Structure 1
Amino acid sequence: MERIRAESINRKAVTNEGVLEMWNYYHLREYLLSLGRGKDFTESTDHYSESLELSSIWHGTYDRLRRNASNTQSEYVSIIGVDNQARQIVLQVIPVEGEDREIPSELNKEQRIKTREKGGADVILGDIHAHPEIYEWQYGNQKGKFSHIGSFSVPDFWSIIGPSHDYLMGLVHGDENFLAFRTRESGEMDGLTYLPFFKRNRDSFIKFWYTKRGMTYLPKEKAIVRLNLQGEKGRIDDIELLNLNLDIARKHHLVIYRGKENETLRRIFPETNV
C-alpha cells in the first residue's frame, strides 16, 4: 500500500472566473480526503473540473495495471481508500490479479479488507481495474479473438450506482486511463426507478442498459454481443460502447474523465467547453 502525503504535491490551480478548469493532484487529493468523511461532501456535477492531474504514484499504478493486463485474459484491480486520522490516501500500488475478464466479488471484498487492515484505510472510496486488452470468445461453435471494450462495461457501473456504491472507479484500457465519479445529483436507489421495483438489482441493471442499445450480455462467455435473427454473433465497436457509457452517465449524473497514459485526464462527460 502507498500512503500519499501532501508535502510533495503541486498546489497551483488553473481557474476561470472562480471555477477550476483543472484540478491538479493537490485538489484531487483534498477532494478524495473529504469523501472519506462521508457522502455529504460529494461535489455537484458543475463543480468538477474540466481536467484532472494525477500524481506520479497514481500514474505508476495505472501503468502497472496496464502492463499486467496486456498479455493475459485476467482483469487486475487496485483498491483506493482513505486514512482519516492521518489524512492520507491509501492506494494499492501492486495490482491484484482477478479472473478471466472479471474481478470476483469475493476477491474484491478480500482486497478491501486488506486495504483497511494492512493499509490503515478506514474508508474505501473505490478501485481502479484493468480490462484485458485481447481476449478469446466462443458462442456455440463460433470462436474468435478481439479487443475488450475501450470503456467501462455496464457491470462496472453497478459499483458506483448500486445500493452499496463506491464514490469513484478507475479503468485502464490499452494506452488510455479513465476515472469516473458519483456526484451530489447521483441520488441513491431512487435513481433506479426505471427498473421494476422488485428487480432493482445488478442483473436487471445490466440487462436494461445493454438491451436499450440492442446488445446482449452473455454471462457465461462474459461477452457483449449483438445477435442477429439467426443467432449469429455480431461485433460491437468501441464507439457504441462509449456512447452507452455516456447514456448511463447522463441518467445517473456521473462525471467521466479520460486520457492517455501518463497524461492529464480530460472530462468527457459532461462535455467540456473546449
Structure 2
Amino acid sequence: MTADDYVEQASEIFVLSDSFIRIRQLIDDEASTIDDISEVILIDPALAGTVLKLANSPFFNYPGKIDTISKAVLVLGITEVYNLVIAYFTTEAFKNIDANQDYLDEFWMKSVDCALLMKFLGTSLGMVHAERLFILGLLHNLGELVVHQITVEKQRACDSHDLNLLPWVKQQDVLGFTFGQCSAELLKQWHLPYSIFAPIRDQDVEDLSQYNAETQLLYVAKRIMSRNLVFKGQDLDYSDLLTKEDLALLCLDKSMLDNAVDYCDLERLGLLSILNPKASMLY
C-alpha cells in the first residue's frame, strides 16, 4: 500500500466536520467578514470554547482578556484563528480511532511538544507570526495514526528506539514512505494550505539547504522532541540527531535549544489540557 492508499481508506474514517469546511470557505472568500467567521465558530460551542481557551493561554501571551470570538479574530488575525480551528478539528477527527489510550496520550504529547518547540524557536529567530508554526508541529505525524488505524501491525513495526535505525528511516523501510509523507497526503485530502502540508511532507529530507525555513525548523524541532521523548532515558546530546550544519542554517545554538526545551516543559501541560485533556493527566 502507498501513502495515497492509506489516506484513501482513512479519509472515510477521519473526516473534518461541516463547520470546518464552512470556515475554510469563508476564509478563502475575500468578501467574508470577521462576523461571518465568528458566527460559524459560535455555532459549535466546543469549538468556540477551545478557541477562546487557546487565545487566552500563555501560548499567545496577549496582555488583555479575549472574551469573544470576534475579538479573537480581530486580535490574533484570521490566519491564527484558522490555525486554532484546524488544531481543534484535527484532534476531534481522531477521537474515534481504534487505539489504546496510553498510545494516544503519548502520541499527542509528542505532537504538542513539537508544536511548542516550533513556536519558541520561530519566535527566538524573529520569524513573523511565529505562533502559526505550532500547527506544523501539531500535525507533523498524523500519518502514524492513519497507519495505526489501517494496519496496526505495520505501525508497530515502524517503532524504533535505536539511534542507528531512526524511526523515520525504519518507516521508509517498512512502508515505503514516512509518517510525515502520509500526514501530508491526508492534509492535502483535507484541502489544507500548501504552506502547511509541504513542510510536513519534507520534514525528513537529507539536504535541508534546499528547503524553506519552516521545513528546516520542523526538521530541527522534531529531532529535539525525539531526543526528549522517543529516545528518552538514553542521555543523548543534540548532536546525536542534529549536525552543526543543520543548526547553522537557522543560526541556532545549544543555548537556544535548551531554552526551547525549558519552554516546552513549562507550557506542555497547559496546551495538552486544552487540546487533549486525557493526555494532560500524564502530568
TM-score (norm 1): 0.29
Greater helix content = 2
Greater strand content = 1
Higher relative contact order (CA 8 A, sep 6+): 2
